[in-house]
Amino acid sequence: MTYKQLLHLNITVILILIVGLYAGMADAHGNVPLNQDSCVRGEQGSKLHLSTYQPQNEPTAHYCSEIPTEGEIFFVVDLIDQALRNIPVTMRIVRGTSETEDETVSIVRSDYYPDGVIGGRTNLEQGNYTVFITGESIPPVHYEYPLRVQMVNYSAVFQKAIGPTIALLVLIFVGYKLTKTKKVQNWLSSRHA
């Protein structure tokens, strides 16, 4: 294999790795089936979906439980299944994790939502919160969403960094092996002579 062929092969491998890593890092929240969406809660017959927005910071972005900055946050709960649209539903946001013991920072009072959409907005400071959504049926249905406002999610950072780190290590290894082949060494020594 000539040096030129090795170079083309190496460039091809690098491009494939870059495309694969970029596709893997893309946020697929809007393109996943409901049963794989981390913002969906519930069982068959009573599913709902939470989206949060901060149009003042990022007009087109929506979030589930990781909200990047503190301040005004818009909440939209989609009652996916018809059964939830026929019962009174309450949404409560508390600072912390306990619905009864922690401070309630916002509440959307119990009401019927025949159109399937509950909306609200509130200002949240940096910290951990929980959104509790309760449907008043027999038995009652209860959903929880943990929220992290303006906090670093080290698990997500690690998951996004592991792919590029492995790719970089592979590229370094391939480059090292290429520089140690006799043809490349001969070519490099002929260029310096």
More confident residue, 132 or 42: 132
Residue 110's nearest CA partner among 81, 80, 132 is 132
Domain CATH code at residue 90: 2.60.40.1930
Asked whether residue 131 carries a pLDDT value surpassing 90, the answer given is yes
pLDDT digits (tens, 9 = 90+) for 35-80: 677 888 887 668 889 999 999 988 888 888 888 889 999 999 999 8
pLDDT range class, residue 10, cuts 50, 70, 90: low
What residue numbers bound the domain in which 9 lies?
3-25+155-192
If you ran DSSP here, which 8-state letter would residue 44 be given?
T
59 lies in the same domain as 127:
yes
pLDDT > 90 fraction of the chain, expressed in percent and rounded:
25
Helix (H) or strand (E) holding 128: strand 127-135
Q: What angle do CA 155, 156, 158 make, to 5 degrees?
A: 65
Residue with tokens 């006799």: 182
Quick one: average pLDDT of 144-173? 82
Instruction: Give the number of domains in the chain.
Output: 2
101 lies in the same domain as 136:
yes
What's this model's pTM, rounded to 2 decimal places?
Answer: 0.62
Q: What is the pLDDT of residue 21?
A: 46
